[in-house]
């Protein structure tokens, strides 16, 4: 297997972008990534997207995006794994370059969620359609069930739990305020979260990631090509993916994301490192409780311990393990299919030392964790700068 | 969406029909063709109707199908034989200020037969199981 590097990154602004469409978003991010990489040809392309069919009445994204990128006859694949579509697309692009089958591969993710479609209904297709969505459960509802199970399992009083959870959103908005591409750049307080409207008890509006339009792209190449480009070489040193029960009721422990633990173990084993070797993390905070559970499953905290992470300041830029320096899904925004690729973009910017106000000093290794559904699929990547 | 005819042919929704692995005894709801032990030899099995709430939530912003029913309360219930099932919690008082006062993790419930929603403009009722506090 060849060593693989990320040689180019690009993303659109994330937000409520009524004046653009699915294809334009993707092509904008792709052109930025190609320009950053300094390459003019591609061997293949992967497009991560969850549900353009429901949002934009458009499938067949491989052909559409290759066509509009001006890449005639390019082999192109659309990858779907709910909100982990982007991360999984990145893994497949990585595998293709590592295998020697292709040299220059573009991996992108895109979602256009503001189209007039019922977003809650469209997203619910990532759950078990016949035994979950059929009953009226929503994604905030599924993560709220995880939150209640967590609070009960670790015997945390409601008021304390609620306040500590709010700190996750406060921290991610603080980080997002420093990111020009973030959907929400305003800082918020614990009271902003606690006074926001209830969405699914105990989660409130400001515990939830927003509805977002956006795209992100990266270009992959073998390390020997990356070394000729005169930029810091950011290598992919670990990649792990896993799946678990699609229905929350069928997981052994509702407060534990076994899928993240399994994907992370594979990525750590491949990179031959442990959690303590990681300098920063971009993880899937689709809801505040998800950031807590993911930090534990990635091995950064003991079970029941990560509820204190943002509250204690550990996960702020400047803390002992900066988490979601981009603002995370909460503040940067969550165009579902694009999220996994946008996480890679942030890690690469950080490892190159290009993250401006958000820069984590001396960052050498970053981890990106992307998740599908209520924890039915997850992808973990570890990147390192030479 | 499935047609009403198809709905009425789903034994899981009408008779709580699960299946049980003949090799290791594990119960699956909904039924599966392959067990986690590798066996493909199953027998039909009807779920018990009593259990306890493992976790729950109150969905205040459901999708369009459930808009008129909001808020809806949903729980994961562990039945007496250990099988877990998600269900709406029904027969609650019409106005509830704080659901945590009446619904607790560990509370006992029983499964009941109820309308889940009415489908699209024709308004055809779709039935299935819900649970209620005992």
pLDDT over threshold 90, residue A45 = yes
Average of per-residue pLDDT values in chain A: 98
- Choosing among B18, B63, B69, B117, which should be mutated to test the A contact, i.e. which has the most A CBs within 10 A? B63
CB A193 within 8 A of CB A312: no
What pLDDT score does B11 carry? 81
Is the Cβ pair A199, B60 closer than 8 Å? yes
pLDDT category, A341, cuts 50, 70, 90?
very high
Q: How close A151 gets to chain B, by Cα (Å)?
A: 10
Quote the domain boundaries for residue B28: 1-47
| Residues A44, A24: Cα–Cα separation, whole Å | 19
What pLDDT score does B8 carry? 66
- Choosing among A118, A136, A196, A208, which should be mutated to test the B contact, i.e. which has the most B CBs within 10 A? A136
First-to-last C-alpha distance (Å) of chain B: 33
Of the listed A83, A217, A286, A293, which one is catalytic? A83
- Read off the pLDDT of residues A255-285 as tens digits, 9 standing for 90 and up: 999 999 999 999 999 999 999 999 999 999 9
> Looking at beta carbons, which residues of chain B come within 8 Å of A141?
57, 59, 74
User: Among residues of chain A, what percentage have pLDDT more than 90?
Assistant: 100
CB A33 within 8 A of CB A10: yes
CA atoms within 13 A on the CB side of B112: 12
**Residue ranges, chain B, pLDDT below 70:** 1-8
Length of chain B as a residue count: 134
Mean pLDDT of A12-36: 98
DSSP string, B19-79: EEETTT--EESS--SS-TTS---EEEEEPPSEEEEEEEEEESS--GGGGGG-SEEEEEEEE
What pLDDT score does A32 carry? 98
Tell me: do B32 and B59 sit in the same domain. no
> Which residue has 């995370």 as its token pair?
A328
> What pTM does this model have?
0.97
| Residues A336, A57: Cα–Cα separation, whole Å | 16
CB A380 within 8 A of CB A372: no
Tell me: do B89 and B110 sit in the same domain. yes
A254 reaches B (C-beta below 8 A): yes
Q: How close A241 gets to chain B, by Cα (Å)?
A: 20
pLDDT category, A355, cuts 50, 70, 90?
very high
CB A342 within 8 A of CB A326: yes
Q: How many CB pairs below 8 Å do chains A and B form together?
A: 94
Topology of the domain comprising A4-119+210-385: Peroxisomal Thiolase; Chain A, domain 1 (3.40.47)
Is the Cβ pair B100, A144 closer than 8 Å? no
CB A166 within 8 A of CB A190: yes
- Annotated catalytic residue A152: no
Which residue is closest to B84 within chain A, CA to CA?
A249
Among A144, A31, A302, which Cα is nearest to A23's? A31
> Looking at beta carbons, which residues of chain A come within 8 Å of B84?
249-250
Tell me: do B63 and B40 sit in the same domain. no
* ipTM rounded to 2 decimals: 0.95
pLDDT category, A43, cuts 50, 70, 90?
very high
What pLDDT score does A40 carry? 84
User: Among residues of chain A, what percentage have pLDDT more than 70?
Assistant: 100
Tell me: do B57 and B96 sit in the same domain. yes
> Which among A118, A203, A248 is the nearest to B63, CB-wise?
A118
Tell me: do B130 and B73 sit in the same domain. yes
Furthest-apart CA atoms within chain B: distance in Å: 49
Is the Cβ pair B116, A135 closer than 8 Å? yes
Is the Cβ pair A141, B74 closer than 8 Å? yes
> Which among B57, B69, B86 is the nearest to A144, CB-wise?
B57
What pLDDT score does A271 carry? 98
Tell me: do B57 and B108 sit in the same domain. yes
Tell me: do B129 and B75 sit in the same domain. yes
Tell me: do B71 and B39 sit in the same domain. no
pLDDT category, A170, cuts 50, 70, 90?
very high
Q: How close A117 gets to chain B, by Cα (Å)?
A: 10
Q: What is the CATH number of the domain that holds B119?
A: 2.40.50
Tell me: do B66 and B31 sit in the same domain. no
Tell me: do B40 and B96 sit in the same domain. no
- Annotated catalytic residue A208: no
- Read off the pLDDT of residues A279-338 as tens digits, 9 standing for 90 and up: 999 999 999 999 999 999 999 999 999 999 999 999 999 999 999 999 999 999 999 999
CB A75 within 8 A of CB A44: yes
Q: How close B134 gets to chain A, by Cα (Å)?
A: 21
Tell me: do B58 and B1 sit in the same domain. no
> Which among A130, A138, A149 is the nearest to B54, CB-wise?
A149
Tell me: do B21 and B74 sit in the same domain. no
Q: Where are the domains of chain A?
A: 4-119+210-385
CB A50 within 8 A of CB A82: yes
- Read off the pLDDT of residues A171-219 as tens digits, 9 standing for 90 and up: 999 999 999 999 999 999 999 999 999 999 999 999 999 999 999 999 9
> Which among A199, A250, A254 is the nearest to B61, CB-wise?
A199
What is the phi-psi region of residue B91: left when phi exceeds 0, alpha when psi lies from -120 to 50, beta otherwise? left
Give the count of domains, chain B: 2
């Amino acid at each position: 297997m060849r060593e693989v590097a990320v040689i180019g990154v690009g993303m659109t602004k994330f937000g409520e972008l009524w004046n653009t469409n699915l294809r334009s978003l993707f092509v904008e991010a792709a052109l930025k990534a190609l320009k950053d990489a300094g390459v003019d040809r591609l061997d293949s392309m992967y497009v991560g997207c969850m549900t353009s069919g429901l949002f934009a009445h458009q499938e067949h994204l491989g052909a559409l995006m290759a066509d509009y990128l001006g890449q005639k006859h390019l082999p192109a694949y659309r990858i779907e794994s709910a909100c982990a579509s982007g991360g999984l697309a990145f893994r497949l692009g990585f595998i293709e370059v590592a295998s020697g089958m292709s040299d220059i591969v573009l991996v992108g993710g895109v979602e256009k969620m503001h189209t007039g479609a019922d977003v809650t209904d469209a997203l619910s297709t990532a759950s078990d359609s016949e035994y979950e969505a059929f009953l009226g459960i929503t994604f905030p509802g599924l993560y709220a069930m995880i939150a209640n199970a967590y609070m009960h399992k670790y015997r945390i009083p409601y008021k304390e739990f609620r306040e500590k959870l709010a700190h996750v959103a406060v921290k991610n908005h603080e980080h997002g305020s420093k990111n020009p591409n973030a959907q929400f750049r305003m800082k918020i307080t614990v009271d902003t979260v606690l006074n926001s409207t209830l969405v699914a008890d105990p989660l409130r509006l400001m515990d939830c990631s927003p509805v977002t339009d956006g795209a992100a792209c990266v270009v992959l190449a073998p390390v020997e090509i990356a070394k000729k480009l005169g930029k810091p070489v950011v290598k992919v040193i670990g990649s792990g993916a896993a799946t678990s029960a699609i229905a929350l009721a069928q997981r052994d422990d509702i407060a534990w994301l076994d899928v993240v633990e399994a994907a992370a173990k594979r990525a750590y084993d491949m990179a031959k490192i442990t959690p303590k070797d990681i300098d920063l993390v971009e993880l899937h905070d689709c809801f505040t409780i998800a950031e807590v559970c993911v930090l534990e499953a990635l091995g950064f905290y003991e079970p029941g311990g990560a509820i204190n992470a943002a509250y204690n300041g550990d996960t702020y830029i400047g803390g002992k393990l900066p988490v979601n320096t981009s603002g995370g899904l909460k503040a940067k925004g969550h165009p579902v299919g694009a999220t996994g690729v946008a996480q890679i973009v942030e890690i690469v910017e950080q490892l190159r030392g290009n993250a401006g106000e958000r820069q984590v000093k001396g960052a050498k290794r970053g981890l990106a964790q992307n998740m599908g559904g209520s924890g039915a699929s997850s992808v973990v990547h570890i990147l390192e700068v030479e | 969406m499935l047609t009403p005819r198809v709905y009425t042919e789903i034994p899981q929704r009408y008779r709580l029909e699960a299946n049980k692995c003949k090799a290791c005894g594990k119960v699956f709801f909904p039924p599966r063709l392959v067990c986690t032990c590798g066996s493909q030899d199953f027998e039909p099995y009807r779920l018990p109707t009593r259990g306890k709430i493992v976790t729950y939530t109150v969905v205040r912003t459901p999708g369009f199908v459930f808009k008129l029913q909001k808020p809806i309360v949903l729980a994961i219930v562990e039945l007496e034989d250990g099988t877990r099932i998600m269900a709406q919690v029904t027969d609650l008082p019409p106005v509830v200020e704080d659901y945590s006062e009446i619904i607790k993790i560990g509370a006992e419930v029983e499964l009941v037969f109820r309308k889940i929603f009415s489908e699209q403009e024709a308004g055809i009722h779709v039935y299935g199981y819900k649970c209620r506090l005992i």
